[in-house]
Amino acid sequence: MQPVLVIKDERFALHLEKIPHLESPKRIKVINAVLNDPSIQGKWAGVQAREATPEELAWVHTPEYIRTVAMSEGKPLTTFDLDTQASEKSYEVARLAVGGVFNLLDAIWNGQSRRGFACIRPPGHHAEPNKAMGFCLFNNVALAARYLRERYSANRVMIVDIDLHHGNGTQKIFYDTDEVLYLSMHHFPSYPGTGNFGEVGVGKGEGFTVNIPLRKGQGDEEFAKIIFFLVNPLAQAYRPDMILVSCGFDLYQNDRLGTMRVTPEGYGLIATFLLGVAEKACEGRIAFIMEGGYSLRGIRECGLRVMQELCGVSGLNLKKIDKIVTSSPRKSPAISKVMEVQGKYWKVLRSQ
Q: Give catalytic residues, as residue numbers.
A: 126
At 159, phi and psi to the nearest 5? -110, 125
The set of long-range contacts for 77-84, using a CB threshold of 8 Å and a minimum separation of 24, is: 77/19, 80/131, 80/132, 80/133, 80/137, 81/131, 81/132, 81/133, 83/133, 83/134, 83/135, 84/132, 84/133, 84/134, 84/135, 84/136, 84/137
- Indicate the residue type of 295: S
Identify whether the C-beta of residue 255 lies closer than 8 Å to the C-beta of residue 235. Answer: no
In angstroms, the CA 141 to CA 105 distance is 11
DSSP characters for 194-213? ---TT----GGGTTSEEEEE
Those residues with Cβ within 8 angstroms of residue 326's Cβ, 6 or more apart along the chain or in another chain: none
In angstroms, the CA 132 to CA 68 distance is 10
In angstroms, the CA 183 to CA 201 distance is 11
In angstroms, the CA 115 to CA 52 distance is 21
Tell which residue, 142, 156, 170, has the closest CA to residue 281. 156
Does the bond joining 122 to the residue before it have cis omega, within 30 degrees of 0?
A: yes
Which helix (H) or strand (E) segment holds residue 149: the answer is helix 140-152
CA torsion 160-166-167-171 (nearest 10°) is 80
Which helix (H) or strand (E) segment holds residue 302: the answer is helix 296-310
In angstroms, the CA 124 to CA 1 distance is 30
